[in-house]
Chains A and B, each alone.
Chain A
Amino acid sequence: MMTDTFATIPYDKELQTKYSSKFNCGNEAINMFLRSSAALDPLYGKTYVIISNDGIVGYYNISTGHIEDDIGIRMGGTIYINYLALDENYHKVKFDEEGYVSDFLLSDCFNRVLYLQENHIGFTFITLSSTKEGYNLYRRNGFEELEEDMKIAKNDGEKTCIPMYLPLDLEDK
């Protein structure tokens, strides 16, 4: 078959058993998360996978959070992207002159975030801790680094990452 249709679906135990061991984004910690019980644990976040006939193309895991200022006053609620990763087989697959599959993985996540905001829960930003490799993806999609008077909670593994945010409100609606 010379074409393969992608679909985004919630991650479950069956998908994990069948496909997670084949997923390789190039970062072992992010691969291992997909194989762990945390990837299926709603107490941690909710995982969605983009799937093809060959397995998992990419995935993201989202939860909630907030941005606070330097004295701990809340600046707004967020959807926090815990993980977002693309299998190595798709790293260089292009959509057009500017876009890669990674842009569409992020756009799929963005659509889900907008759906949540429109239908279920109010919040102001999307936040994440970017790896060095992910930084350009987020920058070209409008994310900015946190200013010095802003902070988000981090865990130990994120200390080398770059905290970034995207306001959801558009200037010209």
Chain B
Amino acid sequence: MGAYTMPGDKPFRTSGKVKRTRSKSRLDRNAALLRDSKMILDKKNNKIIMVKNDD
């Protein structure tokens, strides 16, 4: 015997009202912006500007 750990016949329940997928949202857009840019605060205008990392 080498079967040491298992959660049951399925890892988790997939029925019910739970949503398992989502649509793209502002979260994805902002996350993509953050991945390749620096976030800089323009104190004069009290506004955030994004500057590409290679600029």
Which residues of A pack against B, CB within 8 Å?
Answer: 1-6, 50, 52, 66-67, 69, 73-77, 92-95, 98-99, 101, 103-104, 106-108, 110-111, 114, 124, 140-142, 144, 147-150, 165-172
* Chain B residues numbered 23-51 whose CB sits less than 8 Å from any CB in chain A: 23-28, 30-31, 33-35, 38-44, 46-48, 50
Whether B40 contacts A5 by the Cβ 8 Å rule is yes
Residues of chain B contacted by A108 (CB below 8 angstroms): 31, 34
Chain A residue at minimal CB-CB distance from B7: A74
Residues of chain A contacted by B31 (CB below 8 angstroms): 107-108, 110-111, 114
A65 to chain B minimum Cβ distance, whole angstroms, is 13
Q: Give which listed residue, A2, A52, A140, A147, contacts B17 with CB less than 8 A.
A: A147
Complex Cα gap A6–B48 (Å): 10
Among B11, B20, B21, B48: residue with most chain A CB under 10 A = B48
